[in-house]
Structure formats: C-alpha cells, structure tokens
A and B are shown apart, each in its own frame.
Chain A
Amino acid sequence: AQSVTQLGSHVSVSEGALVLLRCNYSSSVPPYLFWYVQYPNQGLQLLLKYTSAATLVKGINGFEAEFKKSETSFHLTKPSAHMSDAAEYFCAVSGFFGNEKLTFGTGTRLTIIP
C-alpha cells in the first residue's frame, strides 16, 4: 500500500520568500506522485506530477518539485511567494502504473504574509 506524509499542516511565508512544502512517500513500487492545490471554496487542481520521466518536475504558477528516491521525498518549492499562492496544497501518490486510485496527504495550508 502507498501513502504520503505532509509535514506541517500550516506554513507561513513572507511575500517574496521561498516556499517549501514537504511531502514524503511510502510505496513498495516506484511511485507516481502529484501535487494538487485547492483555493478557498473550490475543488482541487493539478499543480504538477512525477511519472519517472525526470526527477525535477516543473508545474504551473512557478512551482516545481524534485523526486528524491534516497530520501523518499517529493517536496514542493517556489522561489518567490506571491499573495495569490495562499491556498491548501495536497501531495498524492499512486503506487504503480495502472492503479486506478490516488492516496492523498492531509494537506498543508499556505499563508502569505504581506
């Protein structure tokens, strides 16, 4: 079975500062990993996904994530935070190709300080 752990349910950063949201995965097979974002009162939308093609994955809105097998991590970063980045972010894992389901983490709420 696969799972993800998101460290920190709440993260606050100043506008213009680095954003780092942490995700560690557990999977018995090479994982497929995803980051989704949820803006207030909306559904989730995909930020980026890792499907083994490249370890550094670039997504929308300037976000990127790096797959590190040795650390079983898939942390999300953005060099310079913007007020519009305030949202909840979810890491998700699908354990093998052909898996019909995703397993989501508990989420990290990102607050941007002006």
Chain B
Amino acid sequence: DAGITQSPRHKVTETGTPVTLRCHQTENHRYMYWYRQDPGHGLRLIHYSYGVKDTDKGEVSDGYSVSRSKTEDFLLTLESATSSQTSVYFCAISEGVSSYNEQFFGPGTRLTVL
C-alpha cells in the first residue's frame, strides 16, 4: 500500500470554527490532491499541489485553502466551517500527471459540521 495517512480520521465540529485536515505521504510523490466525496456527486476535486508551495484550485475550492510547505505534507483548511462542508475528505498522491499516472488514495477523513 502507498504510504498515505490522513489525520484526523474522524472529526465533529461546530459551524464557524476553523478546521485543518492533514495528509502525509512517505512516497515522495510530486502531486497531491484533496477531494470530497458526497452521495450522488462522486469525488470532486477541491485543490491540488504540483510541488512545494505550488497549488491550484479544483472544481469546488470555495471555502477551502491549502498549503504545502514540505513534499510530504498537504494541509486542507476550512477557515470557517459550514454544514455544507460535512463530507468525507480524501487525499490522493501521484508520481506524475494524472493522465498517465495512478492516483493513490488515503483512508479518508469523515468531517461532520454541526
């Protein structure tokens, strides 16, 4: 299995509070991705990174920010959580561009915003 961990695995928080999710990899892969998974929507890309300090927006980036200060860590921050951000969040990594390289997924973080 690819060495990807996500923390925390479960979190319950209240509306308006900041939340940070962490993705850590031991594969030294260049690309890292944050997705959210919701019933009826499949996986939707929030943000991705193509190198240290290099990030870009995905399909559903509003309300989220990311940072990558080291190759192995990719942080997703919800500045002020809302109930619509209740979801399962997956981190993925890829050695190269997604058109030709497999994405490896972490175990997910289940976030509930009350």
Interface residues of A (CB under 8 A from B): 6, 9, 32, 41-46, 49, 51, 90, 94-107
Q: Are A43 and B106 in contact (CB under 8 A)?
A: yes
| B74 to A: closest C-beta gap in Å | 14
Closest 10 CB pairs of A and B: A43-B105, A94-B99, A106-B42, A104-B43, A99-B99, A104-B42, A32-B99, A44-B105, A46-B102, A102-B98
A18 to B: closest C-beta gap in Å: 24
> What is the interface of chain A mostly: helix, strand, loop, or mixed?
loop
Contact of B45 among A51, A95, A96, A101 (CB under 8 A): A101
Beta-carbon contact of A100 and B107 below 8 Å: no
On whether A101 and B98 interact (CB within 8 A), knowing A43-B108, A45-B105, the answer reads: yes
B70 surroundings in chain A (CB, below 8 A): none
Residues of chain A lying within 8 A (CB to CB) of residue B97:
94, 97-100
B107 touching A44 by the CB < 8 A rule?
no
Interface centre among B31, B41, B43, B44 (most CB of A within 10 A): B43
What residues on A are CB-neighbors of B98 within 8 Å?
94, 99-102
Which positions in B face A, CB cutoff 8 Å? 4, 31, 33, 35, 40-45, 48, 50, 56, 58-59, 90, 92, 97-100, 102-108
Q: How far is the CA of A96 from the CA of B98 in the complex (A)?
A: 9
Contact A90-B31, Cβ < 8 Å, known A98-B97, A99-B99, A102-B103? no
Measured in the bound complex, the distance between the Cα atoms of B90 and A43 in whole Å is: 7
Ordered by A's residue number, 26 sampled pairs between the chains whose C-beta atoms are within 8 Å are A32-B99, A32-B100, A42-B108, A43-B90, A43-B105, A43-B107, A44-B90, A44-B92, A44-B103, A45-B105, A51-B99, A94-B97, A95-B99, A96-B99, A97-B99, A98-B97, A99-B97, A100-B98, A101-B98, A102-B45, A102-B103, A103-B59, A104-B35, A105-B42, A106-B40, A107-B42
